[in-house]
Amino acid sequence: MGSSHAVVADVLATQNARLAPSPARDRNLDALRGGAAAVVTGQQVGLFLGPLFTIYKAASAIRAASALAARRGAPVVPVFWLQTEDHDLPEIASCAVPGQLDAPRVFALPASPDDRVSLAHLTLPAEVEPCIDELADDLAGHSFTASHIARLRRHYRAGAGWAAAFAGVVGELFADEGLVVMDARDPALGELVRPVHHRALRDAEVISRALELRSEELLAGGARVQVHVRPGAPLAFHHPAGREGPRYRLEPAGGEGDGARFAEVGGGATHSRAELFAALERDPLCFSTSALLRPIVQDTLLPTAAYVGGPAEVAYFRQIEPLYRHFDMPMPQVAARARFRIVDGACRRRCERLGLSADDSGKSEDELLSRCRSGEGRMTAAELERRLLEPLAAAADALAPELAAAGPEVVRRMERTRAGVAHAVGKLAGCYERAALRRDSDLVDSVRHLRGFLQPGGVPQERVFGLPYFAARFGDREIVERVIAAVEPFDSTLRDLHP
C-alpha cells in the first residue's frame, strides 16, 4: 500500500473510532489498509440524515461493494463520504415527515443563507433539542418512536458538529454492514489534497476550456449539463479568512500567469494566482472543492472502484471526463443509486379502495379524481358540452342556406359565433367537471392523502421525507435491513418497499 493510502487509512481509523463499535467496520478498515478497493457514496450532512435517499445511497454502496468483491474475489469496502465542504446550511437544516393530507410537516433549525462557512466547522444550535422534542410529540404513539428518538438524541445535541451528529447516526444504523464513514475535511489529509488544489489553480483556464468543450458535446447530444462552467474560473473555493471562515468561488479578474487575478464571488476581494498559491502553501484547508472537483479529491484519497450517486451526481461524472484525463487519473465505474417508494399497509388499502396503483400518484389530482368518479352515472363534461352545443349546431345547419344567401360576411360571423360559444361552453364544462369531482370530500381527501404520501408536492417521496416517520412506525434498523435486502446492485429501477 502506498504511503498516501496509509495516511488515509490512519485518518479513517481515527474518525471511525468515534462511531458505535462495529467489528465489521474494523475488518473493512483493515481491508482498506491492506489495499482493498472502495465503493464510495456520499451526501450532505442533513438534519436527522436528511431525505430518505441518504439511506438508499448507503445501502446501494454496501450491496455494490459486496457484488464487486464477489466478482473480484477480493475485499471491496463501502465508504460513505460526508460532504462537509459545502456551505448550503439552509438546504440541509430541515427534515420532513408526512403531515395532514398532502402537506408535509417540516422540522427545521435556524439557518442563515449568508453563512458561507463549510458545514465541517458548524455546530448544532440550542434549538436542536426542542426540535427533537417536537418531532417526538409528532410521532408519539408509534411502536418505535422512543428508540429512534433516543438514537437521534445521542448525536443531535446542542454544540455537536453537524457532521459528527450525522456520522454518529449513520455509524449506528449501518454498524452490522461495516459502512466506513469519511470526512475529507480533516487537517491530517491536507497535504494529500494540496496538489489537487494547486493544479486546479494553476491550470484553471485549460481545465475550464476542456470542460466547456465537454458541455458543448453533451448538449449537442441532447444530454443535460448539470453544472455551469465559468470560463477561466478555478474549480476550488477559497477561504480567505482561514479554514473555518466563509468560502468564496473565484472568477477571473484580469492578468496572466502567476500575476493573473481572481475575484471572490460575493466577497469583494481579489487575489493574484501567486497569492493563492501562497495561501495554499500555508494551509491546504483554506481551499475546498466544488461539485466538479470533489471526485478528483475523492479518488486521490481512496482507491475508488465505483461511485454510487443520485441522478445529478451521475450527470456530474459525465461532465468531468476531461478532468480525470487532465489529472491523469482513471475514472471509476459510476452507478446510479437504488430508488425506492415506501408503500405501507394504509397506502396499499387506499389504492385498492380507489382502484389506483402507486404509480398513479404521479398523475394530477383532477386526473385521479376523474378516474375514481368514472362509471358513477353522473353527467360528464363531454355530455354537458354535447347537450348545450347540439341545438346550436342543428339550428345553424338548418339556417345555413339563408345565411349563405345573405352574403359571405354573415357566414363568417356565424362561424365566429359558433366558435365563441363552443369555447365558452368548454370553459363551463371544465368548471362543472372540477366542481363535480370535489363534491365528495372523502374521495378528494383520499386522493390527496395518496399523492401527498407517495409524491408530495409532485416530488418523489424519497426526496422529501426523512427517515424519522418510517423509523417510528417500523423501526429504523428494520427499514435499513429491508432496504439493503431490496437493493439490486447497479440497478436504479424504482421499486416499492412494503414494510
pLDDT (tens digit per residue) in 101-131: 778 999 999 999 888 999 999 999 999 999 9
Predicted confidence band at 1 (pLDDT cuts at 50, 70, 90)?
Answer: very low
Number of structural domains in the chain: 3
CA 327 to mean position of chain CA atoms: 28
Q: Which of 334, 359, 388 represents a domain boundary (last residue)? A: 334
Q: Which of 303, 334, 365 represents a domain boundary (last residue)? A: 334
pLDDT digits (tens, 9 = 90+) for 133-191: 999 999 999 999 999 999 999 999 999 999 999 999 999 999 999 999 999 999 999 99
* Residue 141, domain extent: 3-185+471-497
Does 281 share its domain with 384? Answer: no
Residue 2 has pLDDT above 60, yes or no: no
Residue 339, domain member (yes or no)? no
Of the two residues 10 and 431, the one the predictor is more confident about is: 10
Query: If DSSP codes are grouped into helix, strand and coil, which group holds residue 15?
Result: helix
Mean pLDDT of the chain: 93
Does 277 share its domain with 156? Answer: no
Q: What percent of the chain has pLDDT over 90?
A: 77
Does 110 share its domain with 254? Answer: no
Residue 391 has pLDDT above 90, yes or no: no
Exposed, middle or buried, 419 (CB in 10 Å: 0-12/13-18/19+)?
exposed
Q: Please, what's the b/e burial string for 208-229 (b: 16 or more CB within 10 A of its CB; e: otherwise)?
A: bebbbebbeebeeeeeebbbeb
Query: What kind and span of H or E run contains 361?
Result: none
**Of 466, 448, 449, 463, which is closest to residue 494 (Cα–Cα)?**
463
Residue 421 has pLDDT above 50, yes or no: yes
Around Cβ 159, how many Cβ atoms within 10 Å?
9
Q: Which of 313, 334, 355 represents a domain boundary (last residue)? A: 334
**Per-residue pLDDT at 439:** 60
Q: How much is the average pLDDT of 402-407?
A: 85
Does 365 share its domain with 488? Answer: no
Around Cβ 110, how many Cβ atoms within 10 Å?
12
Cβ atoms of 59 and 339 within 8 Å: the answer is no
Cβ atoms of 43 and 83 within 8 Å: the answer is yes
Contact residues for 181 (Cβ-Cβ < 8 A; gap 6+): 15, 16, 19, 79, 80, 82, 167, 170, 171
Q: pTM for this structure?
A: 0.87
**Of 50, 35, 61, 156, which is closest to residue 95 (Cα–Cα)?**
50
**Distance separating alpha carbons of residues 307 and 490, to the nearest angstrom:** 10
Does 291 share its domain with 373? Answer: no
For CA atoms 201, 206, 210, 216, give the dihedral sign. positive
**Distance separating alpha carbons of residues 79 and 62, to the nearest angstrom:** 8
Residue 247, domain member (yes or no)? yes
